[in-house]
Copies of this chain bind each other. A is one copy, B any other.
Amino acid sequence: MRHVKLQATWNGHRDCASCAMRSSALFSGLTEQDFALIQEPIDDLTFAEDAVVYHMGSPADAVFTLRSGLVKLVRYSPEGEGRIVRLLRPGDLLGLEAVAGERYDHTAISLTPAQVCKIPRTVIMRLNNETTRLLPRLFELWQSIVRKADAWTTDLGSSQVSAATRAARVLRKLRFEDDPSRIVRISLEDMGAILGMAPETASRALGVLKRDGVLQKGTTRKYWRCDPAALDAAAEGEKTAVDEA
């Protein structure tokens, strides 16, 4: 297993009212007066690649918004086997269970360098007491998490669908926002932990996509290249034109 970094660097406090993330995340819908209710400081944190944002089972005292980077949520079985149950992208929330429960349900680990805002649960509680504008957003976010979890099962969890097709579906979740032909490269172990398959099988699945012209090596080991249209086709389970040649 890869060495895991524990440290985050603190970039100071964040003014939520002027944050670029404001509209896509938790606090959209709040008014200027509402923001004044946020009395605690919101920490702005930077994590290196492979750093732990929080641990499964540890006391959940804050919710996080992901400002940049990519984060995996890992759920460990009692035997120590880990499965990745979600991939989080900029704008997504981490650790929403802090609002409802005692402890985190996953370990959150960065797949790339990541920037997150740490929002103490007390801030959420106060806002909920003082304004009605947070709640609908909270419901929506919770519901979208459920929807994503269900989609994870249905899209990635069927052995009637080929490993290559399911791998392509994962790759689509890993595309760079600004360049759909660039894909964040994750380890085969992680790919296996997402799809519930052995890393060798994941390697072979990616091999198929490469031979079909869907996927190429990137110039650095941090990412792959792809043909976006071919990737979409592969994710639907179709064979590519290259394959038929």
Contacts and interface: CB of A to CB of B under 8 A. Distances in A.
Contacts of A242: none
Given A105-B146, A159-B159, A139 B100 contact: yes
A59 to B, nearest CB: 15
Nearest to A106: B150
A143 B75 contact: no
Given A83-B158, A196-B157, A75 B150 contact: yes
Dominant secondary structure of chain A at its interface with chain B: helix
Q: How often does this chain occur in the complex, in copies?
A: 2
Contact of A146 (B149, B157, B197, B198): B149
Contacts of A151: 75
A188 interface: no
Interface string A191-202: 000001110000
A147 interface: yes
Contacts of A196: 153, 157-160
Given A135-B128, A198-B160, A105 B147 contact: yes
Interface string A142-179: 11011101111110111110000000000000000000
Interface in A95-122: 96-97, 99-101, 105-106
Interface of A: 75, 77, 83, 85-86, 96-97, 99-101, 105-106, 128-129, 132, 135-136, 139-140, 142-143, 145-147, 149-154, 156-160, 196-198
